[in-house]
Structure 1
């Protein structure tokens, strides 16, 4: 038996552009994905079963989410319809590839919010796959394709480094990043990924940001290496912000609030609704936390680093 204690980390996006809609109906992206030290603690137990047995999956969870998100997770937990849980779906889809019968038990403490743009269920699925792929004979390329079939962001969570991400999220180029200190805001409302992408339809053909994202230039790479966030702020933008700020004006106020509290970079993550600020030092970040918490009392705030 194997017993693993791990954390399914959230990710933030440094810049996000959607240059076009693909023929398969999905959207091409350009972004830098960064794993952060905030996530869902997970315990994974893997036990071999006697020959002739059928692999099985057991799931237990503790729900730490707030507001409406608490109900969203309950609906797909073992207290709701577990067949709709992304981990259950991942297990059943991978089961035919196991080289032996396995009993998989997962316990999760759920902190990552759905409809937040920071990975959530994709991170959970990626971590589970990391530990189950060794029980299959899938090649690395096949593993990436399998993860992609679970969700566009899942391939990123098969590894732990920051990456320049293209395709629908499955084409990754590792990038070395300077250490960073940030505050993540979790609003009391979500933004549907599908709706956000649909809202971009009229802007998909615009060349907005295209020159920046054709390749990561030497200046951008250097700035990421050394943490020149002021330079990056004016060059790497999240295209979803213009939609999110119209839909939820509070998010625009929140971004301004981060800058007024001393942030040197602030952005929506993914398609939202989570938004983050990066500060020049850990001390400046810690000083800013009570200020933004007081100014936006309905928000949940989490400090993070990477």
Structure 2
């Protein structure tokens, strides 16, 4: 049996440059894996089996199943596997849990089935599953462009603490809904992402004011409770926070761990959300 953690991500910057002819958007983004993770194990089996600790995932159409089938097809694999998925990452929160699971399964099955291929082969396979999947093959800190399939690995970011807030109410067809709100005035040049990239490359400390997400002003219209949390955080003197991906999960960097634990305590009894005190997760840490 092979086992691996499957890490969530945040976007330290997420800019949309323009809309492509294929309907996707060209992005300029810095993606960063964080310590919140699912757990996936794979073992040889007579048939393809996927088990999960949650009933809310339609396993037949889940990205884990799609990834496994695409690996079999691309590399002409006759063997099967038993895949066990233990979910901890909140779903539909902008944290890339499904994409991370798909990438982790690709990496694990490559080892389990002793597949000989290039990293580019894996990137091409990952890109055919979803825009964020290629990033998760390596994780860590990366500059991501195109529709998400062009990955340029960056030096490990200086480790930081963050508070992550996710909401129990989900937005129907969330990603499609969020992107349908994008207008030409939301497009930016990529300069904000370049600034974040420069700070990472030169080893400077990142602060909330450096970060950006195009969806910060859009998602509050769909999650009424998000506006309540923004007020609570503002009252606690946290006025700079950003969405994870297309939301509605939000986060903010907080360098003082004791202060982070205090804020989480203040949020603990709010029944429509979950909060986590976690850390950035570097590529070199496994």
TM-score, structure 2 normalization: 0.86
Q: What is the distance in 2 between the residues matched to 1:131 and 1:116?
A: 25
Is contact 2:208-2:253 (8 Å) kept? Answer: no
The equivalent position to 2:47 in structure 1, one of 56, 65, 69, is 56
Instruction: Find the counterpart in structure 2 of residue 274 from structure 1.
Output: 249
Partner SS state of residue 213, structure 2:
coil
CA deviation after TM superposition for structure 1 residue 260, in Å: 4.3
Q: What is the distance in 1 between the residues matched to 2:39 and 2:102?
A: 13
Structure 2 spans left out of the alignment, 5+ residues: 281-286
CA deviation after TM superposition for structure 1 residue 222, in Å: 5.9
What is the CA deviation profile of residues 28-86 of structure 1, one whole-angstrom value per residue up to 9, with x for unaligned ones? 11111111111111222146xxxxxxx731111112xxxxxxx632xx1xxxxx32122
Q: What is the distance in 2 between the residues matched to 1:89 and 1:218?
A: 33
Is contact 1:262-1:288 (8 Å) kept? Answer: no
2:264 aligned with 1:289: yes
Q: What is the distance in 2 between the residues matched to 1:114 and 1:152?
A: 17
The equivalent position to 1:198 in structure 2, one of 180, 197, 200, is 180
Larger relative contact order (CA 8 Å, sep ≥ 6): 2
Larger Rg: 1
Is contact 1:262-1:284 (8 Å) kept? Answer: no
CA deviation after TM superposition for structure 1 residue 299, in Å: 0.7
- Structure 2 vs 1, CA of residues 280 and 217 (structure 1 numbering), >3 Å: closer, same or farther? closer
CA deviation after TM superposition for structure 1 residue 213, in Å: 4.2
Is contact 2:30-2:193 (8 Å) kept? Answer: no
The equivalent position to 2:94 in structure 1, one of 117, 120, 123, is 117
Is contact 1:15-1:32 (8 Å) kept? Answer: yes
- Structure 2 vs 1, CA of residues 157 and 88 (structure 1 numbering), >3 Å: closer, same or farther? same
| Mean CA deviation greater in 296-305 or 267-276 | 296-305
Instruction: Find the counterpart in structure 2 of residue 180 from structure 1.
Output: 160
The equivalent position to 1:96 in structure 2, one of 41, 64, 73, is 73
Structure 1 spans left out of the alignment, 5+ residues: 48-54, 64-70, 77-81
Q: What is the distance in 1 between the residues matched to 2:52 and 2:208?
A: 40
- Structure 2 vs 1, CA of residues 183 and 217 (structure 1 numbering), >3 Å: closer, same or farther? closer
What is the CA deviation profile of residues 218-262 of structure 1, one whole-angstrom value per residue up to 9, with x for unaligned ones? 753368x33230541xxx311112110222243244245345446
Instruction: Find the counterpart in structure 1 of residue 3 from structure 2.
Output: 5
Instruction: Find the counterpart in structure 1 of residue 56 from structure 2.
Output: 72
The equivalent position to 2:169 in structure 1, one of 189, 193, 207, is 189
User: Number of matched residues?
Assistant: 275
The equivalent position to 1:157 in structure 2, one of 119, 129, 136, is 136
Partner SS state of residue 178, structure 1:
coil
Partner SS state of residue 125, structure 1:
helix
Q: What is the distance in 2 between the residues matched to 1:89 and 1:169?
A: 19
Q: What is the distance in 1 between the residues matched to 2:196 and 2:276?
A: 32
- Structure 2 vs 1, CA of residues 300 and 31 (structure 1 numbering), >3 Å: closer, same or farther? same
Q: What is the distance in 1 between the residues matched to 2:61 and 2:264?
A: 36
